[in-house]
Amino acid sequence: MPHYPTLYQINTRVHLNGLARALGRPATLDDLSDKMLDRYAQQGFEWLYLLGVWPTGPRVRELALQHPNLLAEYRHLLPDWSEADVCGSCFAIAGYHIADALGGGGAMLRLRERLHARGMRLMLDFIPNHVGLDHRWVWQHPEYFVAGDEEKLRRAPQNYIRIANHGGGDLILAHGRDPYFDGWSDTLQLNYANPDLQAAMTDELLHISGLCDGLRCDMAMLVRPEVFQRTWGFVAMPFWPGAIQAVRQVHPEFTFMAEVYWNQELALVAQGFDFCYDKGYYDVLLSGDALAVDDYMLERSDYHVNLARFLENHDERRAAAVFQRDGRSGNAQHKTAAILTYTLPGLRFFHEGQLDGWREKLPMQLCRGPQEMVDLDLQAFYSRLLAVLADSRLRDGYWQYHLTGTLDARPGASVSAIAWSWSPAPGTYHHSDERLLCVVNYAPQAGRYFVQLDWDDLRGSSWRFSDRLSEYIFEQDGDRIAGEGLQLDLAAWGGYIFAITQLS
């Protein structure tokens, strides 16, 4: 596995629903064809992340059929929608077993074997903070949940629910939530102040780790003691260090990726996570502010290796829909944001449909999506980008940031160029023609810039710079580059990945 792998996420229930329509029968994980897996492997993906493989229950689905905002989304996305298209949120689970409709655990293990034969690994979801209303623990272990009372239910009905207990009487339990928003009405909050709950969740992790090679841990920061206390007002012991250690005693190479917000990435890396969402980077890219992107990139340079970067996922709007700050530039900002995202160190996270320019974000309650047109321009771009990302320098090499400046003589001219390079391996001698140089102009206007390349072997030769994403090629004198910097004219939202060749 390379230091900086690529991951492809698919919405399992929606994907299999589409296959079922094509096949004219129900589809399971066994119907994910070898041809499709071959394509993922050929595109350079090391991970396949299956979203939504755990079952949901009838009460969760019933709520998904009643919520007015969700009903409006269904009508917008699927004018012909029916109740059969609604399956309930895949984050309000009824248990950690592979849903029978997907083929059960046997189909999952067979899929993992097929992925391993192609040098790929399998990632699934773990939802630590809460379970769905239909989970068996509601009647088997009500002590596993954060309890409420009549007063709490009266004062905050959006955060608590009355549930009939199978053993007699009613329970008042809290919905799962984070400290900044109301509860998720189809979930129940797990109580991490209860050591028996922590032991039960560790057992669940050990079970799941026998089915896959890694887990994306949903809202992983919510069960940290500091956050749990802020949300619920009482103290919980740390969960992640012991749970991760327990899994790695059985599966030493098991990978944990945290969905995390609020600048808690380093805290979760310290507790054992391999990768953490870099939502902050996504947000600054979306702002379109090159200076903010540059500053953010440098602030995190010490732990790039532990960050998972994306332009979209199941929680965010589609990149093709939001990275278009200037309608005249078409997909230019999207492409430049992709270069900025996927050529940095860390895990490179792609979402099903992103490579084809899909534009509609699906609610997690749907198991069917709309038919979308392919954006041929984005499809061709991503094909070229993935070919570049397969380069060993970008997968296992050494990343170096470079200072940039403007050649615009006007007073107050801003610098919106950002540059970095990759070379084969850290700690070894590098010749300039072993490097790849990435340069972008993250701004809606063209500019003239220079890039400082502090490479001793530039002098005395001429150099050719060939963009790996297009047919753009130019040459510059090495003495001039060493003295004045590499000089470039960059289009609005222009981005390049240059292979460097010595000419003389």
State residue 236's pLDDT score: 95
- pTM equals 0.95
State residue 298's pLDDT score: 87
Residues forming beta bridges with residue 276, ordered by sequence position = 258, 307
3-class state of residue 26 by DSSP: coil
* Residue 248 main-chain phi, psi, to 5 deg: -75, -15
State residue 16's pLDDT score: 97
3-class state of residue 373 by DSSP: coil
322-370 per-position pLDDT tens digit: 998 555 668 999 999 999 999 999 999 999 999 999 999 999 999 999 9
Q: In the Cβ-directed half-sphere of 167, how many Cα atoms lie within 13 Å?
A: 8
Contacts of residue 181, Cβ cutoff 8 Å, sequence gap at least 6: none
- Domain locations along the chain: 395-502
Q: Taking 90 as the threshold, does the pLDDT of residue 500 lie above it?
A: yes
Which pLDDT band, with edges at 50, 70 and 90, does 300 fall under? confident
Which pLDDT band, with edges at 50, 70 and 90, does 104 fall under? very high
Q: How far is CA 253 from CA 247, 250, 306, 347, 416, in A?
A: 9, 9, 15, 16, 40
Class of domain 395-502: mainly beta
Q: What does the alpha-carbon distance between residue 493 and residue 192 come to, in Å, rounded to a whole number?
A: 47
Backbone dihedral region of 288: left (phi > 0), alpha (psi from -120 to 50 degrees) or beta?
left
Burial class (CB in 10 A: 0-12, 13-18, 19+), 23: exposed
Q: What does the alpha-carbon distance between residue 98 and residue 355 come to, in Å, rounded to a whole number?
A: 28
Nearest to 238 by CA among 188, 195, 274, 206: 195
Q: Which residue has the tokens 């980008």?
A: 385
143-187 per-position pLDDT tens digit: 999 999 999 999 999 999 999 876 667 899 999 999 999 999 999
For the segment 3-11, the average pLDDT, to the nearest whole number, is: 97
Q: Taking 90 as the threshold, does the pLDDT of residue 70 lie above it?
A: yes
Q: Taking 80 as the threshold, does the pLDDT of residue 99 lie above it?
A: yes
* Residue 475 main-chain phi, psi, to 5 deg: -130, 145
Nearest to 351 by CA among 388, 308, 413, 392: 308
State residue 2's pLDDT score: 87
Q: Taking 80 as the threshold, does the pLDDT of residue 192 lie above it?
A: yes
3-class state of residue 132 by DSSP: strand
Nearest to 362 by CA among 94, 24, 10, 33: 10
Contacts of residue 39, Cβ cutoff 8 Å, sequence gap at least 6: none
Rg over CA atoms, the chain: 25
Q: How far is CA 358 from the centre of its chain?
A: 16
Nearest to 487 by CA among 439, 436, 445: 439
Q: Taking 90 as the threshold, does the pLDDT of residue 195 lie above it?
A: yes
Which pLDDT band, with edges at 50, 70 and 90, does 429 fall under? low
Q: What is the torsional sign of CA 121, 125, 129, 130?
A: negative
Contacts of residue 501, Cβ cutoff 8 Å, sequence gap at least 6: 433, 463, 464, 466
Q: What does the alpha-carbon distance between residue 188 and residue 146 come to, in Å, rounded to a whole number?
A: 8
State residue 433's pLDDT score: 76
Q: Taking 90 as the threshold, does the pLDDT of residue 478 lie above it?
A: yes
Contacts of residue 201, Cβ cutoff 8 Å, sequence gap at least 6: 128, 190, 239, 243
* Residue 396 main-chain phi, psi, to 5 deg: -140, 10
State residue 301's pLDDT score: 79
362-414 per-position pLDDT tens digit: 999 999 999 999 999 999 999 999 999 999 999 999 999 999 988 765 565 57
State residue 434's pLDDT score: 86
Q: What is the mean pLDDT of the chain?
A: 94
Please, where are the H alpha helices in 265-352? 265-270, 279-287, 290-299, 319-322, 332-342
221-278 per-position pLDDT tens digit: 999 999 999 999 999 999 999 999 999 999 999 999 999 999 999 999 999 999 999 9
Please, where are the H alpha helices in 156-239? 195-208, 225-232
**Structural contact between residues 64 and 86, judged by C-beta atoms closer than 8 angstroms:** yes
Q: Which residue has the tokens 């009487």?
A: 169
Contacts of residue 451, Cβ cutoff 8 Å, sequence gap at least 6: 402, 403, 404, 417, 419, 437, 439, 485, 486, 488
Crossing angle of helices 279-287 and 332-342, in 10° steps, is 150
State residue 216's pLDDT score: 98
Contacts 24+ apart (CB under 8 A), 330-334: 330/377, 331/357, 331/375, 331/377, 331/378, 331/381, 332/491, 332/492, 332/493, 332/494, 333/288, 333/442, 333/444, 333/493, 334/378
Tokens encoding 429: 């001698």
3-class state of residue 213 by DSSP: coil
Q: Taking 90 as the threshold, does the pLDDT of residue 128 lie above it?
A: yes
